[in-house]
């Protein structure tokens, strides 16, 4: 969000939003052709939008605070300075820059909440990944997967089956294996039970984030495996 010239911080003029393999990305700069060329060249990048950067009054105030601090070579801590100006967050001393530490107490709550949200997003992604995991090699994570299973169960008597009453099924690893109606029903039920466990585990982990009172305590909170 900010750049340094002669040890003075200023805002970039442009914000670029795009997708990198489907994941949203945001960058700041002054040259729109840089992003236009980059996204046009690489196939994994898409959805580019470039807008003028309009800092909030709070961000402008924090930029002024940063520029009023007497310290040399602030650009050596550009990442920590940028996160301070953008979010009002002070990165802890062992990882951050020393000349911002005098502001740590004043910005304690924004800092804690910022790291809580970062960790919460990690837990959310982990929760979603766990829910996508196959059950006994039967794919259940997608809505269409579960519709396919339910459709087979509902119409089991009318389906083409093997002599032993099983049905050949394309599994998660793309192998074809014989399955019974009970195995498909068990996979769908197992998915529903797993979803319930995943959300309970996620909720407990998020609760622990808000019980943590320091950044280090927040970073040490983990989302445990389900029993």
Indicate if 61 and 144 belong to the same structural domain. no
The Cα-based distances of 17 to 42, 53, 59 in angstroms read 15, 12, 19
DSSP-assigned letter for residue 117: H
Domain count, the chain: 2
Q: So what's the pLDDT on residue 227?
A: 58
Q: So what's the pLDDT on residue 97?
A: 83
φ, ψ of residue 46 in degrees (nearest 5): -160, 170
Neighbouring residues of 6: CB distance < 8 A, sequence distance ≥ 6: none
Render pLDDT for 34-45 as a digit per residue (tens, 0 to 9).
999 999 999 999
Indicate if 166 and 79 belong to the same structural domain. no
Indicate if 150 and 79 belong to the same structural domain. no
Indicate if 127 and 214 belong to the same structural domain. yes
116 occurs within a structural domain: no
Indicate if 141 and 196 belong to the same structural domain. yes
Q: How many CA atoms lie within 13 A of 31 on its CB side?
A: 5
**Which among 63, 88, 79 is positioned nearest to 8, based on CA atoms?**
63
Q: Report the percentage of the chain scoring pLDDT > 70.
A: 98
Q: Write out the DSSP string of 169-222.
A: EE-TTS-EEEE-HHHHHHHHHHHHHHHHHHHHHHHHHHHHHHH--SHHHHHT--
199 occurs within a structural domain: yes
Indicate if 101 and 68 belong to the same structural domain. yes
Q: Which domain range does residue 33 map to?
A: 2-106
Query: Residue 210: pLDDT band by 50, 70, 90 thresholds?
Result: very high
């Amino acid at each position: 969000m900010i750049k340094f010239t002669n040890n003075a911080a200023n805002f970039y003029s442009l914000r670029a939003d795009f997708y990198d393999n489907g994941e949203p990305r945001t960058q700041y700069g002054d040259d729109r052709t840089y992003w236009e060329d980059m996204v046009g060249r690489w196939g994994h990048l898409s959805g580019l939008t470039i807008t003028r950067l309009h800092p909030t009054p709070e961000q402008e105030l924090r930029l002024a605070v940063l520029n009023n601090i007497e310290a040399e070579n602030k650009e050596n801590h550009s990442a920590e300075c940028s996160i301070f100006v953008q979010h009002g967050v002070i990165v802890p001393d062992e990882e951050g820059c020393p000349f911002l530490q005098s502001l740590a107490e004043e910005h304690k709550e924004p800092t804690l909440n910022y790291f809580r949200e970062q960790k919460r997003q990690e837990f959310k992604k982990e929760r979603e990944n766990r829910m996508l995991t196959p059950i006994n090699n039967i794919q259940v994570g997608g809505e269409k997967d579960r519709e396919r299973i339910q459709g087979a169960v509902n119409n089991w008597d009318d389906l083409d089956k093997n002599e032993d009453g099983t049905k050949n099924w394309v599994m998660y690893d793309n192998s074809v294996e014989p399955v019974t109606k009970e195995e498909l029903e068990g996979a769908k039920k197992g998915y529903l039970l797993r979803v319930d466990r995943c959300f309970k585990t996620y909720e407990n982990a998020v609760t622990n984030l808000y019980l943590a009172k320091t950044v280090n305590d927040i970073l040490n909170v983990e989302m445990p495996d389900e029993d």
